A and B are shown apart, each in its own frame.
Chain A
Amino acid sequence: MSDALSVQDLSVAFHTRAGVVHALDRVSFTVGAGETLALVGESGSGKSVTAYAIMGLLEAAGQVTSGRALLGETDLLAASPASLARIRGKRVAMIFQNPRTALNPIRPVGTQIADVMRRHGGATWFNARARAIEALRAVGIPDPARRTRAYPFELSGGMCQRVMIAIAMAARPDLLIADEPTTGLDVTTQAVVMDLIAEMAAQTGMATILITHDLALAAERARRIAVMHAGHVVEVAETATLLARPMHPYSARLIAATPTAAGTLEELQSVPGALPDLRGAAIPACRYAARCDRRQADCGETLHPHEAEPGHSIACHHPLGVAA
C-alpha cells in the first residue's frame, strides 16, 4: 500500500509564559491510501496538536521544531502559506473536535457548506445549494432542505458535528483528519457517519486519520492503531493485534479503562498518575516512566520506537509479552 501521508519525526513546542512546552516529540506514523489509522491516547497526549501541525493550523505560540509531513510529494510542514491554503480543504480536510466553534455563527449552515462546495468541491453557483442539501441528507439530517437555512445555534451539538462532516467531505479530499468526528453523536448516527467515511475512502482512496478516545470505535473502524502518550507515539500495530496483545504498558492500561457491555464500574481502572510536565529540559526519555509499574533502571536510557515484530512498533525497554 502506498503511503498517502507519512509523518516523520514531527516535534512541536509551545512558547508560553511558564516556559516552553514540548508537546510533540519525534512523532512518526504513516497512513496508506484508503486506509484508516486511529490515533488514540489520553487527553493532552498530543493528538489534536498533531492534527493541527499537519494542517498548518497551529496557533502562533506553537512551532514545528522538527520533522516532515509528506502528502505524496509535498511536505506540508515546508509548504508556503499560500500553497497550504490551497491544499487545505481541497486535498486535506479536517473535522474539528469542537464543531460549534468551528462553524461561523452568523452564516446559515447551508451557505457554509455551499461555500466549500464552490471553492473546493467543483460545484457552481447553480448547483451548490442542491449539493449542500444532498450533503446534509447524506449525514442523516432530517428535512435537509429547510435545515440549510438554520444557524449553528439552532442545531443540536450532534447536528453541528454532522454539518462539519458534510463540509469536510464536500471537497473529496485525499486525506481526512477526523478529530473525534462522532463525539456527541448517538451510536446509530455514528454508524451512518462512519459508513459514509468508509465508503468515501473505498471509492476515492481517501486516507483517514481517526482521532478518538473510543477504543471500541477504533476496533471497528481502523485497520491500524497508533497510541500516543505525552507527545510520543508509544505503539503502532494492526488493530486486532494491538487490542489482543498490547506490548506497551500504557496501551494495556488504556484498554483496561474502556467500559464494555459487561462488567462493573469497580472493575474499570484509570491509568495511574498523570501526564508529566512537558516544560523544560528535564523530560525523561520514557515519558510514561513515572506512571509505569514495569519501570527498571535502564528505562532512563534513550528510547527509540522500534519494530518488535513486523508491523508492530513500540517505544519501550521492557514491553509486555516479552521476557524481561
Chain B
Amino acid sequence: MTPLLELDAVSKRFPLGRRRLFAKALPPEVHAVSEVSLTVHAGETVGLVGESGCGKSTLVRLITRLLDTTEGTIWFDRREISGVPARFFARDTNRADIQMVFQDAGESINPRFTAADAIADPLRKLLGLRGAALQARVEEAATQCGLPLALLGRYPHQLSGGQRARVGIARAIGTHPRLLVLDEPTAALDVSVQVTVLKLLQQLKAELGLSYIFVSHDLNVVRLLCDRVVVMYLGRVVESGPAQQVFDAPRHPYTKSLIAAVPRLEGARPEAPRLVGDPRSPIDPDPNACRFHGRCPVGFDRCGTAMPALREVAPGHLAACHLND
C-alpha cells in the first residue's frame, strides 16, 4: 500500500527574538518539531498525542502547509509538497485535498462571517462554486455535522462553543478532502455532540475513504477512533504503533505517565502518579540527552548523555527509550 502522506525527518525551529545582522552567535531557537517521520495510509486514522506545547499543532501546520519546514521532506500522494513555499500553497493542486479543522473553532472563524459564509468560503475559493450549487454544498456539510440550517445565518458570537466547532468541521469537509487534519476538534464539544461528531467522522471515513490525522488530549477518544497512535514529547516522536497495543502495553515511560493520568468516572486513583520536575526547555535542547530525562520516573545516567533512537519494539510498534535496548 502506498502511503497517502509521508514525512521524513521533518523539523521546525522558531528563532527567538530578532536575528541581528552582524551577530556572531545564532539566536536561540525553539525546537518545536524535531526529526519527525511518519506515514498515513489512505483510509487510515492516525492519532497524535502528547504534552501541551510538544509541537503537535506545529507539525500539523507543516503538513497542511501553513508553515514551511526547517528541514525534512513531506510527500502527499507521492508528490513532494514541502518544496512548495507555504505562501504559494493556497493555489496548489493538492490544496483542496488537505483540509484542516483548527484547535479553536471560535478563533479560526472570521467574526464577520455568518456560519454559512464560513462554510462557503473554502468552497468558493478552492472549488469556485457559486449560487445554488454553493448553497446546496453548504447545506449538505451543515447537515452532515448536525448544524441546524436555522443557525446558518448566525455570527460566531451568537453560537455556543459547540455550535462553532460544528461550523469548523462543516467548513473542512465541504471540499471533500482526502486528508482531514483535525487539531483537537472535539475539545470544545460536549460529550453528546462529541459522540455525534466521532460517529460522523467514522461514517465519512467509511463512505469516502478519508484519512485523518487526529490531534487530541482525550486518550479515550483517540482509542475509539484511531488505528494508529503517535506520541510526541518536546518535539520528538517517542512512541508509535497500533492504538490498542500502545494503550494496552506502552513501551515509553512518558506514554505510561500519560495513560495513568487519564481521569476516570470512578474517581481518582488512590495514589495517582504525577510527573514531577520541570519539563526541559524546548529552547536549544541538549542534543545528547533524552528530552524526557529529569522528569522521567525511571531515568538513569545514560539518559543524560545519549539521545535514545526510535526503534521497533514489536512489529509496527516503535519507541525511543534506552530501557528498550
Interchain CB contact under 8 A, B103 and A157: yes
The complex places the Cα of A200 from the Cα of B265 at a distance, in Å, of: 24
Picked from A43, A143, A186, the residue with its CB within 8 Å of the CB of B52 is: A186
Stretch at the interface among A113-121, A124-132, A264-272: A264-272
Interchain CB contact under 8 A, A270 and B224: no
| B158 to chain A: closest residue by CB | A16
Taking A143-B281, A187-B263, A192-B274 as contacts, is the C-beta distance between A220 and B52 under 8 angstroms? no
Picked from A43, A137, A192, A258, the residue with its CB within 8 Å of the CB of B161 is: A43
CB proximity of A220 to chain B, nearest CB, Å: 4
* Chain A residues whose C-beta falls within 8 Å of the C-beta of B219 in the assembled complex: 187
The complex places the Cα of A33 from the Cα of B148 at a distance, in Å, of: 41
* Chain B residues whose C-beta falls within 8 Å of the C-beta of A141 in the assembled complex: 53
Q: Which bucket holds chain A's interface residue count?
A: 35 or more
Taking A260-B220, A260-B264 as contacts, is the C-beta distance between A268 and B195 under 8 angstroms? yes
Picked from B161, B163, B262, B274, the residue with its CB within 8 Å of the CB of A97 is: B161
| A23 to chain B: closest residue by CB | B160
The complex places the Cα of A97 from the Cα of B160 at a distance, in Å, of: 11
Picked from A142, A155, A220, A255, the residue with its CB within 8 Å of the CB of B263 is: A220
Interchain CB contact under 8 A, B267 and A259: no
Q: Which bucket holds chain B's interface residue count?
A: 35 or more
The complex places the Cα of A57 from the Cα of B194 at a distance, in Å, of: 28
Contact flags B182-196 to A (C-beta < 8 A → 1, else 0): 001001111111111
Contact flags B132-160 to A (C-beta < 8 A → 1, else 0): 00000000000000001000000001101
Interchain CB contact under 8 A, B50 and A186: yes
* Chain A residues whose C-beta falls within 8 Å of the C-beta of B16 in the assembled complex: 146
Interface membership of B198, Cβ < 8 A: yes
Interface residues of A in 145-167 (CB under 8 A from B): 146, 149, 154-159, 161-162
Taking A142-B279, A187-B261, A192-B275 as contacts, is the C-beta distance between A44 and B160 under 8 angstroms? yes
CB proximity of B20 to chain A, nearest CB, Å: 16
Interface membership of A219, Cβ < 8 A: yes
Interface membership of B312, Cβ < 8 A: no
Interface membership of B10, Cβ < 8 A: no
CB proximity of A309 to chain B, nearest CB, Å: 21
| B281 to chain A: closest residue by CB | A143
* Chain A residues whose C-beta falls within 8 Å of the C-beta of B158 in the assembled complex: 16
The complex places the Cα of A257 from the Cα of B224 at a distance, in Å, of: 13
Interface membership of B202, Cβ < 8 A: yes
- Of the candidates A161, A188, A191, A258, the one having the most CB atoms from chain B within 10 angstroms of its own CB is A188
Stretch at the interface among A5-13, A67-75, A209-217: A209-217
The complex places the Cα of A166 from the Cα of B103 at a distance, in Å, of: 21
CB proximity of A182 to chain B, nearest CB, Å: 9
Picked from B192, B198, B278, B282, the residue with its CB within 8 Å of the CB of A42 is: B192
* Chain B residues whose C-beta falls within 8 Å of the C-beta of A100 in the assembled complex: 104, 107
* Chain B residues whose C-beta falls within 8 Å of the C-beta of A101 in the assembled complex: 106-107
Interchain CB contact under 8 A, B282 and A216: no
Interchain CB contact under 8 A, A220 and B193: no
Taking A43-B193, A220-B268 as contacts, is the C-beta distance between A186 and B258 under 8 angstroms? yes
Interchain CB contact under 8 A, A41 and B190: yes
Contact flags B270-300 to A (C-beta < 8 A → 1, else 0): 0010110011111100000000000000000
* Chain A residues whose C-beta falls within 8 Å of the C-beta of B325 in the assembled complex: none
Interchain CB contact under 8 A, B280 and A257: no
* Chain B residues whose C-beta falls within 8 Å of the C-beta of A155 in the assembled complex: 53
The complex places the Cα of A196 from the Cα of B224 at a distance, in Å, of: 30
Interchain CB contact under 8 A, B50 and A213: no
Interface membership of A98, Cβ < 8 A: yes
Picked from B57, B195, B247, B264, the residue with its CB within 8 Å of the CB of A270 is: B195
Interface residues of B in 161-207 (CB under 8 A from A): 161-163, 184, 187-196, 198-199, 202
Interface membership of B42, Cβ < 8 A: no
CB proximity of B15 to chain A, nearest CB, Å: 11
- Of the candidates B54, B187, B190, B217, the one having the most CB atoms from chain A within 10 angstroms of its own CB is B190
Interchain CB contact under 8 A, B221 and A259: yes
The complex places the Cα of A180 from the Cα of B231 at a distance, in Å, of: 24
Interface membership of A240, Cβ < 8 A: yes
CB proximity of A279 to chain B, nearest CB, Å: 11
CB proximity of B189 to chain A, nearest CB, Å: 6
Interface membership of B49, Cβ < 8 A: yes
The complex places the Cα of A161 from the Cα of B187 at a distance, in Å, of: 13
Taking A42-B162, A142-B280 as contacts, is the C-beta distance between A215 and B51 under 8 angstroms? no
Contact flags A1-38 to B (C-beta < 8 A → 1, else 0): 00000000000000010000000000000000000000
Interchain CB contact under 8 A, B275 and A188: yes
11 example contacts (A-B, Cβ-Cβ < 8 A) are as follows A140-B278, A143-B283, A156-B52, A186-B50, A188-B51, A213-B190, A214-B263, A219-B268, A240-B267, A257-B192, A265-B202
Given contacts A41-B190, A216-B263, A255-B265, 19 further A-B contacts (CB under 8 A): A42-B192, A98-B106, A101-B106, A141-B53, A142-B282, A187-B217, A190-B217, A216-B264, A216-B265, A219-B264, A220-B263, A258-B191, A259-B195, A259-B220, A260-B220, A260-B265, A261-B220, A261-B223, A265-B195
Smallest CB-CB A-B distances: 4 pairs = A158-B52, A43-B162, A44-B160, A143-B281
Residues of B within 8 A of A (CB): 14, 16-17, 28, 30, 49-54, 57, 103-104, 106-107, 148, 157-158, 160-163, 184, 187-196, 198-199, 202, 217-221, 223-225, 247, 257-258, 261-268, 272, 274-275, 278-283
